[in-house]
């Protein structure tokens, strides 16, 4: 399934993309799923029924959480998460509650991720391609992830309809719910859809090296 992992509805103050426009256009842009990742809120879940829509599009509610050390994409049971936590607090808590934390656009010149995110031992995944980054910023993220045992993911970071679906992630599993989505990331069952399928053979995300054969998404 092709997912856009990182999309802002107009609940984010910087976005002009209504939920209705996302729902109306995602399928025709080739997407099977979208993750709504507004800044510091999961209130998009009040506007759309999470899960599979009538047209087959799977909608997942996530969040892009701001910390003093950079932004973290969160997928899991994070409704009600209070603002202002440190990166260390968020990254320690996420796996403990069955969620996934992703370092968002870690090498972007504005709002990069600091060492409190990138060096955290519980960090699972890194956004190595972000649709709003410059090419050299994405390249730096790919270089960072290489050989570190981190899961490589991507997202458009759409704040407008034109950006929706630009950087899709291929999930190698049937996703019908947030739990399915989180499980797929934890298992490393994804790869950058724009890439040749060079990643995966024998690789698996950090902490899961004891699971040979997982089609992990590593660069
Ligand atoms: Zn924004
Ligand atoms: Zn974003």
| CA–CA dist 47, 9 (Å, integer) | 10
Q: Is the pLDDT of residue 205 over 70?
A: no
- The answer to whether position 103 is within a domain reads yes
| pLDDT tens, residue by residue, 83-95 | 999 999 999 999 9
- Report residue 147's pLDDT band, with 50, 70 and 90 as the boundaries: confident
Q: How confident is the model at residue 214 (pLDDT cuts 50, 70, 90)?
A: very low
Report CA(131)–ligand 2 centroid distance (Å): 10
What's the domain range around 153? 2-192
pLDDT at 195: 53
Is 179 among the domain residues?
yes
pTM beyond 0.75, yes or no:
yes
| Residue 209 placed within a domain | no
Distances (CA, A) of 54 to 30, 79, 205: 16, 25, 33
- Ligand number, closest to the Cα atom of 158: 2
Which tens digit of pLDDT belongs to each residue from 105-116? Answer: 999 998 899 989
Q: Give the pair of three-digit tokens for residue 99.
A: 């969620």
State the total domains in the chain: 1
At 11-43, the pLDDT tens digits run 999 999 999 999 999 999 999 999 999 999 999
Ligand 2: centre distance to CA 14 (Å): 9
Residue 8 is assigned to a structural domain of this protein: yes
Residue 187 placed within a domain: yes
Is 52 contained in some domain?
Answer: yes
SS (H, E, C) 72-122: EEEECCCCCCCCCCCHHHHHHHHHHCCCEEEECCCCCCCCCCCHHHHCCCC
Residue 199 in domain: no
CA–CA distance, 22 with 97 (Å, rounded to integer) = 29
The CATH number that applies at residue 50 is: 3.20.20.140
Ligand 1 center to 202 CA (angstroms): 36
Query: How far is the centre of ligand 2, averaged over its atoms, from the C-alpha of 167 (Å)?
Result: 13
Ligand nearest to the CA of 37: 2
Q: Quick check: 74 pLDDT over 60?
A: yes
Dist. CA 211 → ligand 2 center (Å): 31
Contact 4, 165 (CB under 8 A): yes
CA atoms of 182 and 60, how far apart (whole Å)? 10
How far, in Å, CA of 175 to CA of 177, rounded? 6
- Look at residue 205 and tell me if it is in a domain: no
Nearest to 170 by CA among 154, 157, 151, 159: 154
Q: How many angstroms separate the alpha carbon of residue 16 from the centre of ligand 1? A: 10
Neighbours of ion ligand 2 (CB under 5 A): 64, 157
């Amino acid at each position: 399934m092709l997912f856009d992992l990182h999309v802002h509805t107009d609940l984010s103050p910087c976005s002009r993309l209504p939920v209705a426009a996302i729902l109306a256009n995602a399928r025709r842009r080739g997407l099977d799923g979208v993750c709504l990742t507004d800044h510091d809120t999961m209130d998009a879940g009040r506007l759309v029924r999470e899960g599979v829509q009538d047209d087959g599009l799977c909608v997942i509610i996530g969040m892009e959480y701001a910390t003093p050390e950079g932004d973290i994409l969160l997928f899991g049971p994070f409704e009600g998460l209070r603002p202002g936590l440190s990166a260390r607090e968020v990254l320690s808590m996420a796996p403990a509650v069955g969620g996934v934390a992703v370092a968002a656009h870690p090498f972007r010149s504005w709002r990069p991720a600091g060492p409190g995110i990138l060096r955290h031992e519980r960090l699972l995944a890194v956004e190595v391609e972000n649709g709003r980054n410059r090419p050299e910023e994405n390249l730096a993220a790919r270089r960072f992830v290489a050989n570190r045992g981190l899961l490589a993911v991507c997202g458009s970071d759409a704040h407008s309809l034109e950006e929706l679906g630009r950087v899709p992630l291929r999930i190698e599993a049937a996703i019908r719910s947030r739990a399915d989505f989180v499980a797929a990331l934890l298992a490393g069952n994804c790869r950058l859809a724009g890439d040749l399928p060079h990643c995966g053979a024998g690789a698996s995300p950090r902490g899961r090296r004891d699971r040979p054969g997982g089609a992990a998404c590593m660069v």
